[in-house]
Structure 1
Amino acid sequence: MKRHVKFIKFSPTQNMTILVDGQHLKDDYQQIALRLMAYDHVYAEQVGFIEKPKQSNADGNLRMAGNEFCGNACMSLAVFIAHQKGLRENNESHLLIETSGTDDLIRCRVKKVANNYRCRISMPLPKKVEPRNIEYKNTYLEAYNVQYEDFFHLVLKVKRINAEIKETAENIAQSMGEIYPDILIGILLYEEESHYLAPLIYIPKLNSMVWERGCGSGTASIGAYLAFLRKGKVSVRIKQPGGSIHVFGEHENKTLKSLQIEGTVNIVAQGEAFITL
């Protein structure tokens, strides 16, 4: 059976994101997402579904295909809503977004700049940030676990990102996926001196493993990690393959108080896709 699916495609720091607009059965979300993400189809790194808000004060509702949280997808939805409302150049729109992966409403500030949008959003706070030794090939790798309600990121501080360490990250992700098959797993290779991040995102239930060109949630986790180490405020531009995302964090009285990210989002396509389920 061939299905017509309305979609919008975004480029938040080249982390190509598709949002599906229209009602579909939740049981079909994963199949729709896998087809749209395929190289021979619309092609993207992740897919979210626009739903009707449940809370009266929410401007939009986003559900990711793996029911995870995604910062870049939240920014994309905020930009789309602002675009639909006719946001003019150099003006701002302030929005609240419901999303999978957190019970918190995500605060979004969207500003139109020339032909794209600058978006700054609040991010869910991790439940804890703690050092963790990872055993791999009879050696221990120093890492930090950034644990959220429904997903976790593992920060691996490295001197240089190369093919060998990327292969190691993929193997670690797969091993962890066997232990945690129902949650998103992020392996964040981080060069601290240059503030360069290579983010690997693995969703076991979708069998999706992607080296993202720009990861909003991973950027927030780097901010949480740095704020934890410094025990204070951080404001850092994190370089990634697709560009830079700015993270702002505040750690006070042994507690992480706030996390925000800011990046550029472009709307690159809108149309109808054809999918056989």
Structure 2
Amino acid sequence: MMQEIEFIKFNPTENMTVLVKTKHFMEEYEDIAAKIMAYSCLNAEQVGFIEEPQMTGTDSRLQMAGGEFCGNACMSLAAFIASGKMLSPDCSTTILMEVSGTDEIVRCNVKNVMGLYRCNMTVPKPTKIEKQTWVVEGEELLITMIYYQEAVHAVWETGELNPSLRRKAETLAQSINSSYEVNLVGVLLYDLETGELSPLIYVPDLNSMMWERGCGSGTGSLGAYLAWKQQACISQPVKQPGGEMHVKTEWNAGAITEVKIEGTVGIVAEGKAFIQMIEEEVVG
């Protein structure tokens, strides 16, 4: 059965994101997302579905295909809503969103900067941060684990990314997934010398493991990690393969009180995609 999908495609720090506008059954989300992400279709890194909000005062709801929280998808939705308001150049608006992966309302300030949308957004605070030792390919690795409501990120301080580190990071992601029942596992390789973040994101329900060129939730986790490590507020740029984002973390009385990320979103395409859906076998 061929299904018509209305979509918008975004470029948030080259973390190519597709949001689906048409309404579908939730049990179809994973299949739709897998087909849309394929090179033979829209070639995206993640897919979210725009839904009607359930809470009074919020502008929209975002449901990711794997049930995860995605910072760049949130900023993409905020940019789309702002564009619908015909936001004038250099003007700003605030968008409130309900999103999968967290019970918190996500607040995003969006500014029109010459047709691009500069987004400054709150992201969920970690529920816990701790160091753990993981054995990967016979090597003991000291990893900082950052826990969220339905996700876990692992920050690994490394040097320059190479094939061996990539392989170990992918093995680590699978090991973490075997130990925790979460919607998303992130392995965040952080080069102390260059300050560059290389994010690996694994969404088990979609069987999707991808080295992202820019990761919003990973940027937030790195900011949380640095504030926890330094026991202080931090505000700094985060270099990633697709460009630069910014993170600001507030630290007060021995705890993280707020995490904000900032990045630029471009709307690059809008239209219809046609995908072949799996037809259920009729037994009779």
Question: Structure 1 residue 32: deviation in Å?
Answer: 0.3
Q: Does residue 185 of the first structure (1) align with residue 219 of the second (2)? A: no
Question: Structure 1 residue 202: deviation in Å?
Answer: 0.4
Q: Compare 48-57 and 155-164 and name the one that shifted more.
A: 155-164
Question: Structure 1 residue 104: deviation in Å?
Answer: 0.5
Question: Structure 1 residue 138: deviation in Å?
Answer: 2.5
> What number of residue pairs does the alignment pair up?
277
SS of equivalent to 1:229: helix
Distance 1:176 1:156 in 2: 13
Alignment of 1:1-277 (within 5 A): 1-180=1-180, 182-277=182-277
Distance 2:193 2:246 in 1: 16
Is the CA contact 1:37–1:44 (under 8 Å) kept in the aligned structure 2? yes
Distance 2:138 2:275 in 1: 46
Which stretches in structure 1 are left out of the alignment for 5+ residues? none
Cα-Cα RMSD = 0.9
Distance 2:127 2:178 in 1: 22
Which stretches in structure 2 are left out of the alignment for 5+ residues? 278-284
Is the CA contact 2:10–2:76 (under 8 Å) kept in the aligned structure 1? yes
Question: Structure 1 residue 156: deviation in Å?
Answer: 0.3
Distance 1:174 1:219 in 2: 21
What one-letter code is carried by the residue in structure 2 that aligns with 1:161? Answer: L
Distance 1:163 1:197 in 2: 16
Distance 2:179 2:155 in 1: 18
Distance 2:237 2:69 in 1: 21
What one-letter code is carried by the residue in structure 1 that aligns with 2:216? Answer: G
What one-letter code is carried by the residue in structure 1 that aligns with 2:169? Answer: A
Question: Structure 1 residue 177: deviation in Å?
Answer: 2.4
Match of 2:282 in 1: none
- TM-score, length of structure 1 as denominator length: 0.98
Distance 1:103 1:75 in 2: 17
Distance 1:215 1:36 in 2: 19
- TM-score, length of structure 2 as denominator length: 0.96
Distance 2:182 2:218 in 1: 19
Distance 2:148 2:133 in 1: 18
Question: Structure 1 residue 181: deviation in Å?
Answer: 5.3
Distance 1:144 1:174 in 2: 16
Is the CA contact 2:67–2:100 (under 8 Å) kept in the aligned structure 1? yes
- Listed one character per residue, the Cα deviations across residues 147-167 of structure 1 (whole Å, up to 9, x for unaligned) are 001001000000221111011
Question: Structure 1 residue 168: deviation in Å?
Answer: 0.5
Distance 1:131 1:158 in 2: 15
Residue identity over aligned pairs, in percent, reads 47
